Chains A and B, each alone.
Chain A
Amino acid sequence: MSAAGDIGRRLGSIPVVRRTLAVLLVATVVAVVGPALSPHTAIDADFDRILEPPSLSGGHWFGTDQLGRDLFVRTLEGLRTTLLVAVVSSAVSLVIGVAYGLVAGFAGGRLDAVMMRFVDALYALPFIFFVILLMVVFERSFLLIFIAIGAVNWLDMARIVRGQTLSLKQRDFVAAAKLVGVPTPRILLRHIAPNLLGVVLVYLTLTIPQVILVESFLSFLGLGVQAPATSLGTLVAGGVGPLESAPWVLLLPSAVLFVVLLCFNFLGDGLRDAVDVRLGRRDTP
């Protein structure tokens, strides 16, 4: 996709974005390979070294938790879960939302009305109730939880994509394609979708932190991933208890969560700039 290539190139030329991407890349690599390289594991409890403060020489870089588990490895494991949530849930909300919005917006008329009323109805459902329901049905499978989160988050995406499609299909270039006889799927793919790209990308980077927060929130409530697996949200929840005696158990995973969220927000800003340059280009008169 050449338009995507253009946006990518411009994105790469924004320094904040370059640094953010570097941080996210390092975080991903460390989260994936880090736990394997560490002498500790996330589940081995060492009851002799409960709530040990962080130290570089003692072997526990982030200290230990109430069960004497190495907090650094646990944080990396949590980070891995959280990044996985970001990717899987956002991808789910992206695919459903874009496809749904595109079809509703382009079809218009009665189909559009029916599809969007369905979205309105879903909006009206209490979100937590909905997730709990899904989780009962899905029996708390690791991956299915993420899919459930994504499946709830696609509503906004569908609305945005539909609105954009509604205005794009009025444009002359779509009329020109119809006049030539370009089949509808090709019009959607070649003429409408590429012009949605900017908005979708920007909105996607806003969805990612949202999805991460939702997962953390669910885990905090005890509805998210289950022990022994962990996520940053679970770690933060677990850190609340020993807050007074051992603040690092709460603060260090929170700090990592904070940095990751910040990175995605920066990425969103950068994307918006990169896309704006393309759409808002003005020649000097």
Chain B
Amino acid sequence: MSLLEVDALTVRYGADAVVDDLSFALEPGEALGLVGESGSGKSQTALAVMGLLPATAAVGGSIRFAGTDLRGLGRKAMNRLRSVSLAIVFQDPSLALNPYLTIGRQLTAILHAHDLARGPDALARAEAALADVGLPDPRRQLAAYPHELSGGMRQRVMIAAALLGKPDLLIADEPTTALDVTVQAQILELLDRLRDHTSLLLITHDLGVIAGHCERMLVMESGRLVESGSTATVFRAPEHAATQALIGAATDLAVDSPPAGDSDFLMSADALSVGYPAGRSQRLAAVRELSLALRRGETLAVVGESGSGKTSVARALCGLVAPAGGSVVFAGKRLGATLAERDLGLKRRIQLVFQDPAGSLSPGMKVAEIVAEPLRVHEPGLAREEVRRRVEAALADVGLGPEYLGRYPHELSGGQAQRTAIARALVLRPELLVCDEAVAALDGSVRARLLARLKAVQANTGLGILFIAHDLAVVRQIAHRVAVMYLGRIVEAGETDAVFGNPRHPYTRALIDAVPVPDPLRPAGRNSLSGEIPSPLAPPSGCAFHPRCRWSEPRCVAGRPALERIGGEPRRVACWRAEDPELVTTPG
């Protein structure tokens, strides 16, 4: 008998079916992947199984768990099942924990509610659960509040909470989407280990996550099941167009050749430092004496975990924060530290695309007004028809038709909103475009189309792009050169192919190893990186990476290696052992 049998499940909101005639089964001990783009009905399916859909949803079909019809159960009976037999882990761990209660209180509350344990017994079980999910010093974490934990640790707490009742089935709904790639690898490894006791329904839009961790997979599109089968078969011979698009978006790694010749640098930053006041007398150094340069027509990616200082680099270059030190030269002239010190003519030449597409568009303005605003500011004399023509052209460049002109931002999907933001940035034909995680919030196929558009614009106009990202797969698709940041400094920089093909810094190597590979036949993302990025308030001595580095030795603790060229390559690495043959050849 299957553990979970979903038969002809339909979920409707009014006339819209978000899940349409979905049937599948999950066997005991199995890990089943459920893939699809956002809006395909994956999360609605999970909520339907958990009985957590809002009252406005009309549900049809049947859901049987270990032979029991879940839809026939009353609220109380369903509550008893949850945690004990069925558990769910959501995407954003910071939203799922109560900020005013300690971790211990929140975990023991689950045990109390299900009468599983009381008093010191419950605390002991909570502590054991935290230890099971690999949290360091679980006894201390019990007394901690959620804000004292990092995102990865919070997600571990959520998984611990889900597993307290020893459920037979764990549903993980995009459990790693909000996390860094290195932390993602740790969480996925943890889910793998749990498979001895529990079955897993893993919901994600990232095929790389499925490939290494699930035996079977289902692909959903617009609420319907379009493909299912063993992960290996689906990856080898995807039948449905949606699956092909998902796989294509995940594996398309074509890199263009970088622009020929070493023309002058469009922009170069020298010893740039950015700091923020933190507390009374402390200063948080987000970026430390960082130097980088970008040519016309070139894409330079800056990658690193969150907390590495990538975004601060972007904001300082754009003049949104004043650097604490160093200088930025743009097209031969030194840039003013803040926007107030930069003249209007300069502002049209440097533009920024933000991470959150919806947040960067004024909610009360229509798409046409949003894209037209830069033109009104910089070319006030422009005739109305000409403004309209240019706005339409800019929107067409990013693949939006004139029907979007009259829409408000809240009427756009994430991809459409981000394309509007890019159209606004490009309507003035800037020379430098800074993209701060510009595609991080988008689905795979939307992301691929947007990257292709950016490349096309770059080919036509010689745009220089500084691409801030944490997603290495995206970086591979668009960047000519890449700079890897760790705790405010660049640890490795060079041509994308060289850096990714043969990383010479242990951190670069760990980042690359942690990326889930969308190929079920290759080993899953190995995690050679333990722990998390230290606080920039108290950076480790010497090489900041040494506490997490498996190759660290006494000189790494004592002194910081400079970022230097190695061999005859144009690549620079900040590691004492960059040319050590052991580091280069030993598999992670």
Taking Cβ atoms with an 8 Å cutoff, the residues of A that contact B are 2-3, 6, 171-173, 175-183, 186, 190-191, 194-195, 197, 278-279, 281, 284-285
Given that A285-B39, A285-B43 are known contacts, is A172 also in contact with B364, CB under 8 Å in the complex?
no
| Complex contact A182–B364 (CB within 8 A) | no
* Known contacts A172-B356, A181-B377, A190-B365, then 17 further A-B pairs from the complex at CB < 8 Å, ordered by chain A residue: A2-B364, A6-B408, A172-B360, A176-B354, A179-B320, A179-B350, A180-B374, A180-B378, A181-B347, A181-B348, A181-B378, A186-B377, A190-B373, A195-B362, A281-B410, A284-B13, A284-B16
> Which residues of B from 354 to 401 have beta carbons under 8 Å from A?
354, 356, 359-366, 373-374, 377-378
Question: Contacts of A173 on B, CB cut-off 8 Å?
Answer: 359-363
Chain B residues with CB under 8 Å of A281's CB are 410
With A2-B364, A190-B365 known as contacts, the answer to whether A179 contacts B359 (CB < 8 A) is: no
Q: How far is B373's CA from A190's CA once the two chains are assembled, in angstroms?
A: 10
Taking the closest CB of chain B, its distance from the CB of A63, in whole angstroms, is: 51
Q: How far is the CA of A273 from the CA of B348 in the complex (A)?
A: 40
Q: A176-B354, A281-B410, A285-B44 are in contact. Are A183 and B377 (CB under 8 A)?
A: yes
CA–CA, A215 and B154, complex, Å = 55
A278 to B363 Cα, complex, angstroms: 10
Would you list the 5 A-B pairs with minimal beta carbon distance, nearest first?
Answer: A194-B364, A3-B364, A181-B347, A172-B360, A180-B374
| Contact between chains at A194 and B366 (CB < 8 Å) | no
A182 engages B359 (CB within 8 Å): no
Q: Is the CB of A172 within 8 A of B359?
A: yes
Contact call B347/A190, Cβ cutoff below 8 A: no
User: What 0/1 readout, one digit per residue, does chain B (16-53) give for beta carbons within 8 Å of chain A?
Assistant: 10100000000000000000001100011000000000
Q: Once the chains bind, are A179 and B377 in contact (CB under 8 Å)?
A: no
Partner of B373, one of A3, A180, A197, A279: A180
Chain B contact residues, CB within 8 Å of chain A = 13, 16, 18, 38-39, 43-44, 318-320, 339, 344, 347-348, 350-352, 354, 356, 359-366, 373-374, 377-378, 408, 410, 421, 424, 428
Complex Cα gap A177–B352 (Å): 11
Bound: A279/B409 CA distance, A: 11
Q: Is the CB of B347 within 8 A of A194?
A: no
The answer to whether B373 touches A177 (Cβ under 8 A) is: yes
Indicate if the CB atoms of B366 and A180 lie closer than 8 Å.
no
Given contacts A179-B318, A179-B347, A180-B347, contact A195 B339 (CB under 8 A): no
Contacts of B339 in A (CB 8 A): 178-179
Which residues of chain B are within 8 angstroms of A191 by Cβ–Cβ distance?
362, 365
Decide if B354 touches A195 in the complex (CB within 8 Å).
no
Dominant secondary structure of chain A at its interface with chain B: helix
For residue B31, give the distance in angstroms from its CB to the closest CB of chain A: 23
Quote the shortest CB–CB distance from A275 to chain B (angstroms). 12
Nearest residue, chain A, Cβ from B57: A284
Contacts of A178 in B (CB 8 A): 320, 339
Q: How far is the CB of B215 from chain A (nearest CB, A)?
A: 26
Q: Name the residue of chain B whose CB is nearest to the CB of A196.
A: B364
Given contacts A181-B377, A284-B18, contact A176 B347 (CB under 8 A): no
Q: Is the CB of A176 within 8 A of B352?
A: yes
The interface residues of chain A lying within 8 Å CB-to-CB of B354 are 172, 175-176
Q: How far is the CB of B324 from chain A (nearest CB, A)?
A: 19
Determine if B39 and A2 form an interchain contact, defined as CB atoms under 8 angstroms apart.
no
Q: How far is the CA of A197 from the CA of B362 in the complex (A)?
A: 13
A178 and B373 CA atoms in complex are apart in Å by 11
List, in ascending order, chain B residues with CB within 8 A of A180's CB.
Answer: 347-348, 351, 373-374, 377-378, 424, 428
Q: How far is the CB of B343 from chain A (nearest CB, A)?
A: 9
Q: Of A6, A171, A179, A285, which contacts B38 at CB under 8 A?
A: A285
8 contacts between A and B (CB under 8 A): A175-B360, A176-B354, A178-B339, A181-B348, A182-B373, A190-B373, A194-B363, A281-B410
Cβ of A279: which chain B residues have Cβ within 8 Å of it? 363
B-side contacts of A190, CB under 8 Å: 362, 365, 373
Measured CA separation A176–B319 after assembly (Å): 11
**Of all chain B residues, which has the CB nearest A6?**
B408
Chain A contacts for B421, CB-based, 8 A: 176
- How far in angstroms is the closest Cβ of chain A from B221? 15
Q: Is the CB of B377 within 8 A of A182?
A: yes
How many angstroms between the C-alpha atoms of A179 and B352 in the bound complex?
A: 8
User: Given contacts A179-B318, A180-B347, A281-B410, is CB(A195)–CB(B364) below 8 Å?
Assistant: yes
Contacts of A197 in B (CB 8 A): 364
Of A171, A176, A183, A191, chain B has the most CB atoms within 10 Å of the CB of: A176
B362 with A2: CB separation less than 8 A: no
Contacts of A194 in B (CB 8 A): 362-365
Q: Which residue of A lies closest to B39 (CB)?
A: A285
Question: With a CB–CB cut-off of 8 A, which chain A residues contact B364?
Answer: 2-3, 194-195, 197
> Within the assembled complex, what's the spacing in Å between the Cα atoms of A38 and B320?
66
Distance of A171 Cα from B356 Cα, bound (Å): 10
A104-B290 Cα distance, complex, nearest whole Å: 36
Q: Hey, which chain B residues are within 8 Å of A186, CB to CB?
A: 377
- The answer to whether A2 and B377 touch across the interface, beta carbons within 8 angstroms, is no
Of A171, A177, A181, A183, which contacts B359 at CB under 8 A? A171
State A172–B354 Cα separation when bound (angstroms): 7
- Of all chain A residues, the one with the shortest Cβ separation from B411 is A281
Name which residue of chain A comes closest to B346, CB basis: A181
Complexed CA–CA distance, A285 and B90 (Å): 13
Kindly state the separation between the CA atoms of A180 and B377 in the bound complex, as whole angstroms: 8
